[in-house]
Amino acid sequence: MSTVRVAGTGLTPFGNVPERTGRDLFAEASIAAFDDSGVPREDVEAVFYGNFMGELAEHQGHQGPLMAEAAGVQAPATRYESACASSGAAVRDAVFRIRNGDADVVLVGGAERMTNLGTAGATEALAIAADDLWEVRAGMTFPGAYALMAQAYFAEYGGEREDLAHVAVKNHENALPNEKAQYQSAITVEDVLEAPPVSAPIGLYDSCPISDGAAALVLTSEAYAEEHDLDAPVAITGTGQGGDRMALHDREHLARSPAAREAGEEAYADAGVDASDVDLAEVHDCFTIAEVLAIEALDLERIGEGISAARDGRTTADGETPVNLSGGLKAKGHPVGATGASQIAEIATLLTGDHPNDGYVEDATIGVAHNAGGTVASATVHVLEVIA
């Protein structure tokens, strides 16, 4: 079984660029990934592409071959859709393809064009990642769904809005030096608490933005990397995927993320590590409560204690286990089809010392990326290690 190396990473800035198309964004990210890797396009044997709302935002299906063309690649191409975990799922299958010896080079990533829909249109498009029959038709949106999860957490384990505010403040602080981040601006706890409410206890600054952007990775087998003398010291050594019931009312727990726990346990076992080995993490913080649920599901914090992690400095940049040094979805942005691949790109560059926040993790060798779909009805987790 081949070890999967991250040979190159590419990201567009995340932000509000409604005039740019998905193919334009993915082309930019792919160019950067190829330039970073030194791998020629003609060596790519497959393209795996994550995208969620292309039919709604761009009236465009069948995006796999379209994005391969945009990247300048002639290879079989497949689009993956798993809501906000779309490119996380794409990366997982790319890992399997290389491990199984079916390919030596895969281009994998994702993109999303969202801001051209406007706030109402994007909210409606995102809502189809929930159960249409029992949730969407009742008027529930994702801020409302995560508000219910936050309320359930507070009722079961304690905590308050101020604890969530510290998550937002931390991630905005982390995004300040990240030129790819949508929000490079500091906020205070008071800013979060005084911001307009969205769905109690979720406020404006507890929520990630609507974003446009793309991410691309060039993944190779270890044999290919060695044969071509690539500078690729980071490998994806663990992959996991979990699932849960779609509608919140059908779930056993609202204050936990079983899908993320299942994915994390599988990824840790696959890599031969456990949570205590993890030096840093990028987790799916579409709302501040989502980061709390994620770090508990990944065993980075004990159940019921994740709520205090940012406030007490355990997950800050200079904390024991920094979380979302990129700024996370909260501040870096969340172009949903690109997010999973972008998290892996951020971890890889943090581990190699090519990230503006790498000074906080100079001795780090293991990172974990957690990507979730919907209200975490689907989740992928990947372990990355320096193995040069």
93-145: pLDDT as tens digits? 999 999 999 999 999 999 999 999 999 999 999 999 999 999 999 999 999 99
Identify whether the C-beta of residue 280 lies closer than 8 Å to the C-beta of residue 365: no
| Residue from 84, 166, 208, 382 carrying the catalytic annotation | 84
Question: Residue 200's CB: how many other CB atoms inside 10 A?
Answer: 11
Dig out the tokens for 152 from the structure: 């359930």
Residues 4-118+209-386, CATH architecture: 3-Layer(aba) Sandwich (3.40)
Give percent of the chain above pLDDT 90: 99
Residue 282, strand partner residues: 369
Is 286 in the active site? no
Which residues, given as ranges, of the chain have pLDDT below 50? none
Query: Is the pTM value of this prediction over 0.95?
Result: yes
Long-range contacts of 153-157 (CB under 8 A, 24+ apart): 153/254, 153/255, 153/289, 153/292, 153/293, 153/307, 154/201, 155/255, 156/255, 156/304, 157/255, 157/303, 157/304, 157/307
Question: Residue 162's CB: how many other CB atoms inside 10 A?
Answer: 12
Q: Please tell me the predicted confidence (pLDDT) of residue 161.
A: 98
Comparing CA positions, the residue from 5, 4, 9 lying closest to residue 354 is 9
Q: Please tell me the predicted confidence (pLDDT) of residue 131.
A: 96
| Residue from 166, 172, 284, 334 carrying the catalytic annotation | 334
**Structural domain boundaries of the chain?**
4-118+209-386
Q: Please tell me the predicted confidence (pLDDT) of residue 2.
A: 78
Dig out the tokens for 329 from the structure: 């979805």
Is 334 in the active site? yes
